Amino acid sequence: MPVDLYYISLSPPCRAVMMTAYLAGVDTNLKMLNLMAGEQMTPEFLKINPMHKVPTLDDDGFYVTESQAICAYLVNKYAKNDSLYPTDPQRRALVDKMMNFDASTFFPNLRDFYVQ
C-alpha cells in the first residue's frame, strides 16, 4: 500500500522526502497542496497536521511531519538495508549532522535568499 505524501513541488524539504522515498523503494502517492489557496488550512488537513506544514506523511493513518523525521521514518521502516541511515552510531551521527545542518543552516538561508 502506498504512503500519502502532502507536498509542494518547489520545497527543498519536500524534495528531500521524495528522494528518500524513492531511494528506499517506498511507493508514494503524491498529494500536492496549493498553499496560496490555503489548502493547508482546511479542516481535513488540520486533522492530519495541526501545524499545517508540508511535507506531511500519511502511512495508513500514522502521520509524520518534519522532513528529517519523515526521511528517517521511511528508511527505518522500508529500506532494505542501512545504507541510507546507518545503524552504526558513528556513521549515523554523520548523517544526522548533515540533516541538522540542512534544517538549521542551509535551508533557512536558501529560503531567505529566494523569498524576499
- Reading the chain (116 residues) residue by residue, the pLDDT tens digits are 899 999 998 888 899 999 999 999 999 999 999 999 999 999 999 999 999 999 999 999 999 999 999 999 999 999 999 998 899 999 989 988 887 776 667 667 666 666 66
Residue 34's domain is classified under what CATH number? 3.40.30.10
Of 9, 11, 67, 83, the active-site residue reads: 11
Structural domains of the chain, count: 1
Query: Does residue 11 have an active-site annotation?
Result: yes
pTM for the whole structure: 0.84
Which residue in the block uniquely carries the three cell numbers 508540508? 54
Which residue in the block uniquely carries the three cell numbers 549532522? 97
Element (H, E) at 3: strand 3-7
Residue 75, domain extent: 3-114
Q: Give the residue from 11, 48, 5 showing the smallest Cα distance to 24.
A: 5
DSSP string, 15-65: HHHHHHHHHHT--EEEEE--GGGTGGGSHHHHHH-TT--S-EEEETTEEEE
